[in-house]
Amino acid sequence: MDSGNLKHAAAGIWSGYVYSKPEQLGLPYQDVLIPVENGVAPAWIFDPPAAAKAPGGWAIHIHGMGGNRAGTLRGIPVARRLGLTSLVVSFRNDGDAPPSYDGRYNLGQGEWRDVEAGINYAISNGAERIVLFGWSLGAAIALQTAALSPNSLRVAGMVLDAPVFDWRTTLAANAKAAGLPRSLVHLGFIILQSKTLRWVTGLAEPICLDSLDWLARATELDIPVLVLHGEKDDTTPFEASKKAASLRPDLVTLVEFESEGHSLEWNVDSEKWERSVEEWFRGHPMAGSSPEQAGVQS
């Protein structure tokens, strides 16, 4: 229970969050504010022990949809052991960062700019190589950030938990689970991408689903990606992760979990999750490459 009195609660939800506050990790951290488009977004910084610190190595942790920064705290201990300074960011419409003008999730299309602001902050504080840790929607945001960031050469790799590689696949799977007819799903795709029907969605700009489709854009991936995904994920189809790994076996490493539910891989087997991250990280040149080398893998 995060807060309040359970006896007086009228409603609640099951959550995969293990920590609801950064102090629960028992690790030193500090609160910082990062300038973003509509103001400032709060973030947390966790420094690694001086003896383990990898000079210039940072991790930026990006949470999922409908959640907040606390969801990424599960990834802090392993990043810390790898000597990475961790920056846990917030982004528009998550309740911590300033809202966008339309107050709507953009499925990564706009949110990546707030992560880019985090990258700028990290670089101004000594970051040379950055690993993006993305959870669910946060993974989709990480993929967009790595592709669009002016600082993309600094992004050395990505750790993606239960990622959304393609929103059509994810939204269609959720609609099917809800019993919605296929025709209605396709209509939804049309509405999301339509300028004239923005009054229906409330979006300031239509969503370009093609630009968010990293199965179709798999050839554009150019940095190592570790995918951690449960085979029985009921929200983000595991098959999309499996396909991404088959399309780019040179860059995408898939680690399967037997977890049921969404983004519960760490919860089910934290030892396997963290060991997989450590082995992947130490097996790539990002552990000690220059910014130029980090963005281009041979």
User: Residue by residue, what is the 3-state secondary structure of the chain?
Assistant: CCCCCHHHCCCCCCCCCCCCCHHHHCCCCEEEEEEECCEEEEEEEECCCCCCCCCCEEEEEECCCCCCHHHHHHHHHHHHHCCCEEEECCCCCCCCCCCCCCCCCCCCCCCHHHHHHHHHHHHHCCCCEEEEEEECHHHHHHHHHHHHCCCHHHEEEEEEECCCCCHHHHHHHHHHHCCCCHHHHHHHHHHHHCCCCHHHHCCCCCCCCCCCCCCCCHHHCCCCEEEEEEEECCCCCHHHHHHHHHHCCCCEEEEEEEEECCCCHHHHCHHHHHHHHHHHHHCCHHHCCCHHHHCCCC
- What pLDDT is attached to residue 287? 55
84-104, pLDDT tens digit by residue? 999 999 999 999 999 999 999
- pTM across the whole model: 0.92
- What pLDDT is attached to residue 294? 42
- What pLDDT is attached to residue 1? 65
* Residue ranges of the chain whose pLDDT lies below 70: 1-3, 286-298
- What pLDDT is attached to residue 285? 73
